[in-house]
Amino acid sequence: MRFSLQAQYAISGLFDLAYNARGVPIQVRVIGERQSIPTRYLEQIFQRLRRARLVTGKRGPGGGYVLARPAAEISLREIVEAVEGPPSGWMEAEPGLGPAPHRPDFFWAILAERLAAALAETTLEALCGDASRAAVRRADAEDSMYYI
């Protein structure tokens, strides 16, 4: 199973907001640069995230996006659903295979729902905690200088 590029970018973009922004609006361009995501593509994804009420936008100088709710209240399932739709469409049998009476095609819907349940249990806050424990560097972190 592989997430679509849109889902990966959506999770990466909101992770960046939760991990680096600290409540300050961040421009999509800045997020795109930090996450190596094309700005135009990320702008389209953030429009979907805004419609799903996961982010809010602020216009003008100093504008950008912030999380619409605390990171502890935003699950990865919500993020994926905002760009991919409901779990029923996440996994399907290969379209070119056609129907086969002895193939377990029924299982893809079950698997998608199980994956959705696992994503629902994982919040952006938990992801940020994992990133901190893995020593993922924050955008505003300065290199430590040691003087002898």
For 41-91, write each residue's pLDDT tens digit: 999 999 999 999 999 998 888 889 999 999 999 999 999 999 999 988 777
Which residue has better confidence, 79 or 142? 79
| pLDDT tier at 93, thresholds 50, 70, 90 | low
Q: pTM of the predicted model, to two decimals?
A: 0.85
| pLDDT tier at 98, thresholds 50, 70, 90 | low
Q: Fill in the amino acid letter for 76.
A: L
**Site of tokens 């997020």:** 31
| pLDDT tier at 99, thresholds 50, 70, 90 | low
Q: Quick one: pLDDT at residue 141?
A: 53
Q: Quick one: pLDDT at residue 3?
A: 80
Judged against a pLDDT cut of 60, whether residue 147 lies above it is answered with no
Phi, psi of 110 (to 5 degrees): -65, -45
The CATH number of the domain covering residues in 5-133:
1.10.10.10
Q: Above pLDDT 70, what percent of the chain?
A: 88
- Average pLDDT, integer, range 13-21: 94
Judged against a pLDDT cut of 90, whether residue 139 lies above it is answered with no
Q: Quick one: pLDDT at residue 124?
A: 96
Q: Quick one: pLDDT at residue 145?
A: 40
